[in-house]
Structure 1
Amino acid sequence: MEAEVVIVGAGPTGLLLAYELGLAGVPALVLDKAARPDEQPRANGLVGQITRVLAYRGLLDGLPVPPVAVPRFPFGPLSLELDRLPTSPLHVLPVPQRHLEELLGDAAIRVGATVRRGHEVTGFEETGDAVVVRVQGPGDQYRLTTAYLVGCDGARSFVRKHAGIAFPGITSDEVVRMARVTLPPDEVDIADGTLTARGVRLALMRPNRTATGSLTIAPQAMLDPTAAPDVYILAVAEPLSADVPDTVTLDELRESVGRVLGTELPITGARWPRVTVANSRQAAAYRSGRVLLAGDAAHVFSAGGAALNAGLLDAVNLGWKLAAAARGTAPAGLLDTYHAERHPAGHRAILHTRAQAALSVAGDNAEALREILGELLRHPGPLAHLATLMEGAGAGAWAPDALAGPAAAYAREQLRVGGTLLVDTTEGAELGAVVGPWRSHLTLVEAPGAGVCALVRPDGYLAWTGETGEGLPEALATWTARRGAGT
């Protein structure tokens, strides 16, 4: 078998999955049909729990800015005033996707992954205990055999289509033209979260809705400190017409701005212009036998930060489970929990991104909805609920937040190296006698009097807590690899 796990797609999700597998001792092979990484800007940052996961994993050590709990954040056309809460539940990290891919790619290679670019998967078949994959390389076609194949190959996923997995959802009735544009500094004034140019005032970082569409704009330097001060991220949404071109020129972009705003902005240049029609879809299943899906192959949303959060959390959830399955040490049913946990999380992300889209449309009904929801968000309960939904935690209680004192510190330390953690806080270190056949597959820390005992999964979620060993064997049998276990 050439590779225990083959990952199709060398985007952020595929690279993080390769790292998670390597961290668990399973080197992955990553195939990407593109000869080199895409230089076109995509997402401009991360939003949600993945920012903290990556930080605890040590994958953000080279970045100048850590994840921050933001005081306010847009929800469609509304602003979540999170500084009204004692602690903001929502975390963000301004990092360009290209830089993120470099960090994750380097990390994956350090733990044994191999990345082959210019290698396109053209077919595959399951053979009972393996998957035979057909690949078109730069020169020749070849086949390779793997225990598991994971599609991280985007919204148009070949892996998903070839596996026959349905992808139901909706397509937006708007077309979006976007680019990095330049605006002369002497014609632009920015103050109090707004941009003013030629008499037009625009809110930054959220849609500015008019009767003919919407426009979103922000200085690129807000997300990338190295960007030139006259460069802005611009997206213009208009009603979808029958004929949507694949590309957009600078003049067409200016014309689109004019139709939406009723006037022109002083755009002097544009880089990486593109056209997109948003989709909101989710795969019916994240697993079909030995074929699995993650990231945009499993779900697509209109909000880039939410999409990356969901996709990268897919990788963190799947990595340790798939590694145990590939080694033949996974408890029965462990790999099935990937769909059981991440499919509902993807559905929740679709709900809040669709809700934001609904709030952003024109019309009296939408205006009434915005007003009523705006009133609700002045109250701490609804505000915290919505921010927590956007954080996208899923899968239960996360140990760094749910535990306290030394137990929480041990959980944070364990996240850096991966693996299962058992914190034994009993006075006589009673849990050591329970661990038995699971001992070689977990880290046991004895911390008498440090609060409740806890079993922490490799992704940081609590699998069990208690003051004695009651219920621990069942939790170990469900979540932890053991000697002699099989898939």
Structure 2
Amino acid sequence: MDASFDTEVIVVGAGPTGLMVAGELRCAGIDVILLDELLEPTTESRGLGFTPRTMEVLAQRGLVERFSERGVSLQTTTRGHFGGIPLDFGVFADAHPGVVGLPQVHTEAVLRDWVADLGCEVTRGHRVIDVTDTGNAVEALVDISGRSVRLRARFLVGCDGSRSVVRKRAGFEFTGTTSTLEVLLADVRGCDIRPRFIGEWLPGGVAMSAAIGDGIDRIVVCERDGPSSDHAVQPSFKSVADAWQRLTGEDISHGEPQWVSAFGDATKLASDYRRGRVLLAGDAAHVHLPAGGLGMNTGMQDGFNLGWKLAAVVRGRLPETLLDSYHEERHAVGKRLLLNTRAQGLLFLGGDEMAPLRTIIGELIGYEAVSVHLAGMVSGLEIRYPMGTGSHPLLGLRMPDIQLAGTQEQSVYPLLTSARGLLLDFVDDESLRDEVRPWADRIDVVTASPVADFGVPRLDAVLVRPDGHVAWVAPDEMGSLTAALHRWFGDPDEALKVGK
């Protein structure tokens, strides 16, 4: 590393998004400083589980087992909803189930342990107050207990939430709609509340309640005639209890609040996810109604897409233009996310005028094509990245975790734990293996065959990126394997070529 740099990458914000970025960078051996303003990890429950796609992400890095190692039981489910209308993620037979009722504190603890095992600890009590891209470096001005320190790195990633200082100081545009309503939230113990897992529509608004473990219930309440909110001021538990009683007639004022918060339905998206040497991920890049808990999940997937690409650029294997693909791929996902959550907000929080539409959409979900479409949108399983002109239906999608024969591993995802590329040779083609050999320092090759048909046309071989998305398939008309290798993994190591 250049001695003029304090580190290669600064990551600002040690929530799930920042931890995912840092972990992916450390998997590739990149030097990282992970900054967080908080002196201690948050104890707030916040996000409450994972979508099926996020579970796949965790499985691809061997992180699912770490929850049980910490004594945390994952409550898996194929149930979901779209704007309060039930959905079944089981329409994707090859997908991991989702997880519900898991407080974010457990997620952050597992990710922190993973990142620490990779050699990166969270640097706490460091508040970033300014960011400057000098062209050949990026500098962060950091306040440490009233003392200003300047840190210098090759790149900086802002994962510092909806009020991101990085986004503001680096000059990113952040446009959209302001909040029109206020939703109150409380995690409360000792109330014995009737479950309303996907919410209950009532004359004056919507009430939702769900057990999240350890005798605690998550309460969410929105009064249609209530004020709008930018959730700048934390509400009192009394205001939550009063709103709950007005809507449901139930008294929860005797409960013991563990966490109280409020949010609105503001919808905003950064115009760019990258400006020079500064990048955004998670809530720093997109703000929306937290329908279905998609915010944390999308942020973690942002980090999963960015981390391996940024590592390849820092190591000099690929030009900085590779980072443009991060914007191209994840900005499109962000736009889709905002569309999705705005539609869910109208259905979930709308009044009597939305009742006919809720009825019709409920009927349409009974059709398999509609159910697959909406479940794919909410779960993240529909995400397909542009990979060229090929027409194979698997191209650009995430690789399913299919069972394999001919390898000691039982399925695909354990083969991705090292965060390297993967070529799956299903037909024992020596010429393919020879073609990949010059990239052996960054791509693993496994000769195996699927245990069973998994619903795609003929498949002889698959090139999988470190984030699990399919970059090339054979047979297909999209172009050569070598072109895909150069595009996603850079120039080969000449010393690894056949005969050398």
- The TM-score range, normalised by the shorter chain, is 0.7 to 0.9
| Cα distance in 2 for residues equivalent to 1:447 and 1:247 | 55
Matched AA of 2:367: H
1:34: how far off?
1.5
Q: Which moved more, 1:30-39 or 1:2-11?
A: 30-39
| Cα distance in 2 for residues equivalent to 1:121 and 1:254 | 36
Q: Which moved more, 1:342-351 or 1:372-381?
A: 342-351
| Cα distance in 2 for residues equivalent to 1:278 and 1:306 | 14
| Cα distance in 1 for residues equivalent to 2:441 and 2:66 | 32
| Cα distance in 2 for residues equivalent to 1:323 and 1:69 | 32
Query: 48, 60, 66: which is aligned to 1:62?
Result: 66
| Cα distance in 1 for residues equivalent to 2:64 and 2:489 | 28
Between the aligned residues of both structures, percent identity stands at 35
1:474 aligned partner: 483
User: What is the aligned length?
Assistant: 462
1:432: how far off?
3.6
1:174 aligns with 2:211: no
Cα RMSD over matched residues?
A: 2.8
Matched AA of 1:481: G
Give 1:65-464 correspondences, 5 Å limit. 70-81=77-88, 85=91, 87=93, 91-94=97-100, 95-138=102-145, 140-185=147-192, 195=194, 204-221=196-213, 227-228=214-215, 231-238=216-223, 239-241=225-227, 246-262=233-249, 264-265=251-252, 267-303=254-290, 305-331=293-319, 333-393=321-381, 394=383, 395=385, 396-401=396-401, 411-427=412-428, 429-435=430-436, 437-447=438-448, 452-464=460-472
> SS of the counterpart of 1:168?
strand
Q: Which moved more, 1:73-82 or 1:407-416?
A: 407-416
Contact 2:421 2:443 in 1 (8 A): yes
| Cα distance in 2 for residues equivalent to 1:420 and 1:76 | 37
Structure 2 gaps of 5+ residues are 386-395, 452-458, 495-500
Contact 1:151 1:293 in 2 (8 A): yes
1:270: how far off?
2.1
Alignment CA distance shift 1:352-1:68 (3 Å) = farther
| Cα distance in 2 for residues equivalent to 1:86 and 1:151 | 33
> SS of the counterpart of 1:62?
helix
2:497 aligned partner: none
Matched AA of 1:443: D
Contact 1:90 1:388 in 2 (8 A): no
Contact 1:32 1:119 in 2 (8 A): yes
Alignment CA distance shift 1:455-1:166 (3 Å) = same
Matched AA of 1:352: N
Contact 1:278 1:302 in 2 (8 A): yes
> SS of the counterpart of 1:61?
helix
2:43 aligned partner: 39
Contact 1:23 1:111 in 2 (8 A): yes
2:473 aligned partner: 465
| Cα distance in 1 for residues equivalent to 2:89 and 2:34 | 40
| Cα distance in 2 for residues equivalent to 1:433 and 1:173 | 59
1:16 aligned partner: 20
| Cα distance in 2 for residues equivalent to 1:66 and 1:465 | 37
What's the TM-score, normalizing by structure 1? 0.87
1:200-258 deviation per Cα after TM superposition (whole angstroms, max 9, x unaligned): xxx6212222232211111222xxxxx12xx3111111244278782333332222123
1:308: how far off?
1.3
Contact 2:406 2:449 in 1 (8 A): no
| Cα distance in 1 for residues equivalent to 2:78 and 2:152 | 49
> SS of the counterpart of 1:58?
coil
1:191 aligned partner: none
1:119-169 deviation per Cα after TM superposition (whole angstroms, max 9, x unaligned): 111112122211122111236321121010000000000001111111112
| Cα distance in 2 for residues equivalent to 1:280 and 1:264 | 33
Contact 1:82 1:88 in 2 (8 A): no
Matched AA of 1:367: A
| Cα distance in 1 for residues equivalent to 2:176 and 2:252 | 35
1:336: how far off?
0.9
Alignment CA distance shift 1:406-1:307 (3 Å) = farther
Matched AA of 2:412: A
| Cα distance in 2 for residues equivalent to 1:444 and 1:436 | 9
1:5 aligns with 2:9: yes
> SS of the counterpart of 2:446?
strand
Matched AA of 2:256: G
Q: Which moved more, 1:136-145 or 1:352-361?
A: 136-145
Contact 2:422 2:463 in 1 (8 A): yes
| Cα distance in 2 for residues equivalent to 1:338 and 1:242 | 34
Alignment CA distance shift 1:463-1:184 (3 Å) = closer
Matched AA of 1:400: P
| Cα distance in 2 for residues equivalent to 1:72 and 1:401 | 20
| Cα distance in 1 for residues equivalent to 2:103 and 2:94 | 23
1:199 aligned partner: none
What's the TM-score, normalizing by structure 2? 0.85
Contact 2:403 2:411 in 1 (8 A): no
